[in-house]
Amino acid sequence: MKIIHTADLHLGQIMYQYYDRVDEHRHFFNQLMGWCEEHRPDALVVSGDIYDIPQPSASAREFFNSTFVTFRQAFPHMAIVVTAGNHDSASRIKADSSVWHLSGVTVLGNAPSADPNQRREHWEDDYIVELPSGFIAAMPFMGNNRTELIVALTDRIAQRNTDGRPVVLMAHLAVDGCDPLGHDDVGTLRCVTTAALGMGFDYAALGHIHRPQTLGHDIADESQPHSSYPAGAIRYSGSALHVSCDETYPHSVSLVELDRRGGTVELTRLRIDELRHFYTLPATDKPAAHSLNDLYAAIDSLQSKGLRGYIRPRIDYGAPLPTDFVNSIYQYLEKTGNELRLNPKTIWENIPPREENAERPIFEIADLQQMTDPLHFIAETRQQYPELDFEQLKADFEEIQNELRRQQESADNKRNAKKNASKNNESTPTL
């Protein structure tokens, strides 16, 4: 059984609240298309975080649809299995499942109910894709990390798998011992143990952690093109793009070959060529900019090399800058046709030492300007609230967000209904 494993697409991501990344995603899928052509896998699996936000834009949805229709048409015999991650709205993803099913693409949104009374007999089969060459257990993100449901899936496969075919498990979760470098929830990640996933799989194709890695193996191995593991390997393919500037490590897609149940796992890392990289300007081996002109000179030199990417200014704290210098940089970059893009979170160098006893703020102003999620602020300051049950608070926030979303939807529906009603009135001839 041969699969290509990727995850954490984060389609529709708007970088720094300004830049659409659709061309970067297109560049990624062009490479993925090439790898599918070259390696002819039995299945392409995408382990969660299809979109960057629960309510993706129409253009992000259109991009997903047209991309996966293209893959289906190009590779009619390749299974395609896509699951929802924590960034996705499980029910919105599920809403389109039946349409995808018609074209043989498995798209799974909701995790099974935590309440056993709500689950019908052999519910497991809804999450199992059987291929001539093997089985795929596809579990979407579960807010409650009920790993016993994962074990139920692989137990069910064990019943059906009478001829020793290999088993792939897809899930979107954090596992103990993973290296979450670059992950925005570091410190609040709820991990499951590897033991909790059971022994019923040969390869666990995980999503959620953006750094490619095989659990229990040195991260340095990621520079090798090939590795082989005994059955039961647990791996994060890593995200399709570097989702933030902290993720500058190499990204890859995992090509996995499995010979049989309990056999060996042969991994090939297919290195992704990113359309845009992250740069600090001036580079850290050079002096920080002492003026906007210094910064512009560094931008010009990057542009003259034909490089594209997101640049983060590195400026001397004492540099004389206009108060709206960030806008000036945006304007300057426009001449690159936005091939060079601004990460407005400036790195300040040579900040004068504070006086003894002076209180050091937890956040710089620039940090606060960048912060859009109140939970992020609370997470960073939680040591000041020892009584706080952060997980509860997080759940409450989610509930409020969902309620707001529902209200917005019903307001939209009412408005549209009104609009349609008045349109109909206009077209009705008056006698």
Binding positions for Mn ion, rule: CB under 5 A: 8, 49
Of 8 and 24, CB closest to Mn ion: 8
Q: CB of residue 23 vs Mn ion: minimum separation in angstroms?
A: 20
Q: Which is nearer to Mn ion, 10 or 276 (CB)?
A: 10
Give the nearer residue to Mn ion in terms of CB position, either 8 or 247: 8
Shortest Cβ 292–Mn ion spacing (Å): 35
Least distance from C-beta 176 to Mn ion, angstroms?
A: 18
Name the minimum Å distance from CB 87 to Mn ion.
6
344, containing H or E segment:
none
Interaxial angle between packed helices 292-304 and 325-334, expressed in degrees from 0 to 180 and rounded to the nearest 10: 20
C-beta of residue 337 within 8 angstroms of C-beta of residue 303: no
Residue 36: partners with Cβ closer than 8 Å, 6 or more residues away? 4, 44, 71, 74, 75, 78
Give the closest residue to 49 by CA, choosing from 239, 205, 225, 215.
239
Tell how far CA 201 is from the center of its chain: 24
In the complex, minimum distance from the CB of residue 126 to Mn ion, in angstroms, rounded to a whole number: 24
CB of 83 to Mn ion, least distance (A): 12
CB of 27 to Mn ion, least distance (A): 19
β-sheet bridge partners, residue 273: none
Whether cis (ω within 30° of 0) applies to the bond prior to 322 is no
Please say which residue, 49 or 257, places its beta carbon nearer to Mn ion.
49
Of 152, 180, 302, residue with least CA distance to 236:
180
Q: Which is nearer to Mn ion, 67 or 237 (CB)?
A: 237
Label the pairing between strands 43-47 and 2-6: parallel
At 27, is the secondary structure helix, strand, or coil?
A: helix
Is the Cβ of residue 182 or residue 313 nearer to Mn ion in the bound state?
A: 182
Closest CA to 212 of 130, 273, 271: 271
Longest dimension (CA), the chain: 85
C-alpha pair distances (Å), 396 with each of 214, 376, 390, 392, 399: 34, 14, 10, 6, 5
| Closer by beta carbon to Mn ion, 2 or else 10 | 10
- Mapped onto helix, strand or coil, the DSSP state of residue 415 is helix
CB of 30 to Mn ion, least distance (A): 21
